[in-house]
Amino acid sequence: MEKTYFCKKFYAMTIDALIEQEIITAVQELYGATVDSKSVQISDTKKDIAGDKTVVIFPLLRFSKKTPEATAEEIGAYLVSHIDTIDSYSVIKGFLNLTISMKYWLSVLQTALQQGLDYGKKTVNADSPTVMVEFSSPNTNKPLHLGHVRNNLLGYSISQILAANGNKVIKANLVNDRGIHICKSMIAWKLFGNGETPQSSGLKGDHLVGNYYVIFDKEYKKQVAELMAAGKTEDEAKAEAPILLQAREMLVKWEQGDPEVISLWKTMNGWVYEGFDATYKRMGVSFDHIYYESQTYLLGKKVVMDGLQRGILFQKDDKSVWADLTGDGLDQKLLLRPDGTSVYMTQDIGTAIERFREYGDMGELIYVVGNEQNYHFQVLSLILQKLGYDWAKKIYHMSYGMVELPDGKMKSREGTVVDADDLMDSMVKEAKTISDELGKLSDLSDEEAAEVHEIIAQGALKYFMLKVEPRKTMLFNPKESIDFNGNTGPFIQYTHARICSLLRKAATQSITNFSNFAIATCNDKEKELIKTISRYTSIIELAAKDHAPSYIANYVYDLVKLYNQFYHDYSILNEEDTEVKTFRLALSKVVATIVASGMGLLGIRVPERM
């Protein structure tokens, strides 16, 4: 068989993929057996063992019918004779260790240098699968808070990662702009607002409306206490509080299209949207399609009533409509209240149907929602399947843990929430304080320094949020997140700025083209950097598959740590050998590019000066 020359296949296949392919062929030719890719296990060779890639032989013994050593010898010899870039192999018990040629590793660097920010990413074309990612999904009764920050950052980042993995991605936002919680802010403003507006108060619109949500809760608790003092039980008092009854009456009027209620609803939601837009812009988050619950819940109600008529759903004596999921090991789920008003599930049913009608057979519909809603999305998928929508199996709940603070949890209705705008302001203030203490930006103008402070603050916030595996509950410590040392955004950003400074100094020596490096070998740290660079594509693939931006974050941190060790141990601009100097500058350039690329997948900017 003709030998495979890797350089011809580089753009389409990684070395791991090529080895896997040739092992499958080897098993066929050597043992006359067909093996699937799951039986081929390839990993990086341990540092204390010679080699670059290790193949686990044990899963292949059922095909060879030979000892691990004999099987490894035969497959190793086959790979060396068929893959140009494998120089040699060794066998240690049931493990086959492969040494990859220096020519290959240098070709990795050359390819990364040539492809720039496109390196490691797949091209989106007409045949690429469409994936929708719904995230943010705020209520129009309060500003975005710390919990929303994690949601937005996860949603935006996984969208970027999926796109880099070759998917056509639609970033969607479902605004919860109707319901009893919206009416609570509205009735409080009507009762206590005295015509207050964002302009008259000097507040962002979302903050103003959020204040009235807090006012409602305080008044509600006051009324409950008064009713209990008058002899009502706690449950009776909570159900009969006048302000709650007024909010419920307003919701019914809203669904009936009452002009006065609709006018107030539009006005107050308009204030909130202006506030949201400003926060999203600062956070660097954007959407391709914004849905509104007020426009989708009617379809959900129609589908529910159709399901009732078909006998898939059932109605109780009080006229409420339910789905019976007890046969599936779950419970009964309310879909329409006795007064005919809808619930979240109703709206989500309508929105999901509308999305698949609009975009066709999507590969996946991802909901980025906190883990307290795990059951909700399990039920949503099941109800849609019962209603006859097979695509409901493509619903994926990207569940994430809550964000906690050193001093406890947040409660929006009590006004103890950490506001997203205030959080970002405090992060910028902290970035400025630390930068001033370290004297890092003393050579920049005030305007330039302010821009870098914003980049550092956003980078610290986003990286700290995204480096944690999404499903885990996390403790957010603002001061720790903005440290210029350790596993933080500013540490990574500073390394990028350091490399940019190095490349500017190289330009003063008239060294701007690094693509013509011509070395034949490199030291261990340089090789380890290139090997890490070569893993970028597989990291993007795995992050997309597992819906885990944390993979990208921790990969970039590992790359930066390796580079800083190399930078500390070896001279670059003062290197006397011109070819070595050019090579090290090329290596530095690629590291900076991948840092910018990887951080970009997290929605993080990296400054060139810092």
Is 426 within a domain? no
Residue 163: which pLDDT band, with cuts at 50, 70 and 90? very high
Question: Torsion over CA of 158, 160, 166 and 167, rounded to 10 degrees?
Answer: 60
Is 155 within a domain? yes
On whether both 400 and 435 belong to a single domain, the answer is no
pTM to 2 decimals? 0.91
On whether both 404 and 441 belong to a single domain, the answer is no
On whether both 476 and 373 belong to a single domain, the answer is no
Is 172 within a domain? yes
On whether both 182 and 297 belong to a single domain, the answer is yes
SS3 50: coil
On whether both 399 and 440 belong to a single domain, the answer is no
Long-range contacts of residues 48-52, Cβ cutoff 8 Å, at least 24 apart: 49/92, 49/97, 50/90, 50/97, 50/99, 51/89, 51/90, 51/97, 51/98, 51/99, 52/98, 52/99, 52/100, 52/531
On whether both 76 and 170 belong to a single domain, the answer is no
Tokens (6 digits) for 200 = 């008259």
Is 499 within a domain? yes
Question: Tell me, what CATH number does 581's domain have?
Answer: 1.10.730.10
Tokens (6 digits) for 520 = 């034949």
- pLDDT by residue (tens digit) across 584-607? 999 999 999 999 999 999 999 999
Indicate the number of domains in the chain.
3
Is 424 within a domain? no
Is 606 within a domain? no
- The answer on pLDDT for 106 being more than 50 is yes
On whether both 354 and 462 belong to a single domain, the answer is no
Question: Tell me, what CATH number does 30's domain have?
Answer: 3.30.1360.70
Is 557 within a domain? yes
Question: Tell me, what CATH number does 410's domain have?
Answer: 3.40.50.620
- The answer on pLDDT for 2 being more than 50 is no
Q: Give CA 337 to chain center in angstroms.
A: 35
Is 608 within a domain? no
On whether both 398 and 450 belong to a single domain, the answer is no
On whether both 375 and 456 belong to a single domain, the answer is no
- pLDDT by residue (tens digit) across 438-490? 777 778 888 999 999 999 999 999 999 999 999 999 988 888 898 888 999 99
Last residue of a domain, one of 45, 80, 100: 100
Domain that holds residue 498: 431-601
On whether both 481 and 586 belong to a single domain, the answer is yes
On whether both 577 and 543 belong to a single domain, the answer is yes
Of 460, 470, 466, 272, nearest in space to 366 by CA: 470
- pLDDT by residue (tens digit) across 344-396? 899 899 999 999 999 998 999 999 999 999 999 999 999 999 999 999 999 99
Is residue 159 within 8 A of residue 169, CB to CB? The reply is yes
Last residue of a domain, one of 73, 100, 127: 100
On whether both 481 and 581 belong to a single domain, the answer is yes
Mean pLDDT of the chain: 93
Last residue of a domain, one of 353, 380, 414: 414
